[in-house]
Amino acid sequence: MRAVIQRVSNASVKVNEIITGQINTGFLVLLGISEDDTEDDVSWLSAKIAGMRIFSDENDQMNHSLEDVNGEILLISQFTLFAQTKKGNRPGFTRAAKPEKAIPLYELMSAKLEMLTGKKTQKGIFSADMKVSLLNDGPVTIIIDTKNRE
């Protein structure tokens, strides 16, 4: 499982010109799910995301978490995070989980983030053509892969 976490001042996602998720200060999380990901990956990654201290404190140091800044999360499914690009110029996506596996893990991630943050997780629509807008704050972008825990 891979997550690209962007610290944002605001972010939103539209499907067919309708906003399906919108936040102010918080994290835009692009989530890629692979065929070998499990509920254990969701548990580990959700705790990591919820606990990330990447907001500035009074000394301009990254010491504050979502909770400290009353932040929110916008979660977007992103199978292209598992693009294979070694051969040719057209990426392959065979490592990305099929919807029947990915959707339950995506929904579990959303639920776990809600439980950990105490706030509703804003979302896009799985496998839809989404238009994501954001104002990256910093910019701060963190990439986490559950296969690189150590």
Q: Does residue 25 carry a catalytic annotation? A: no
**CA angle (35, 113, 49) in 5-degree steps:** 75
Cis peptide before 139 (omega within 30 of 0): yes
Q: Which tokens sit at 86?
A: 């070694």
Q: Which tokens sit at 89?
A: 């110029």
80, 85, 94, 121: the catalytic one is: 80
What sign has the CA pseudo-torsion 25, 114, 45, 134? negative
Q: Measuring CA to CA, which residue among 134, 142, 108 is closest to residue 14?
A: 134
C-alpha–C-alpha distance, residues 126 and 69, integer Å: 28
Catalytic residues: 80
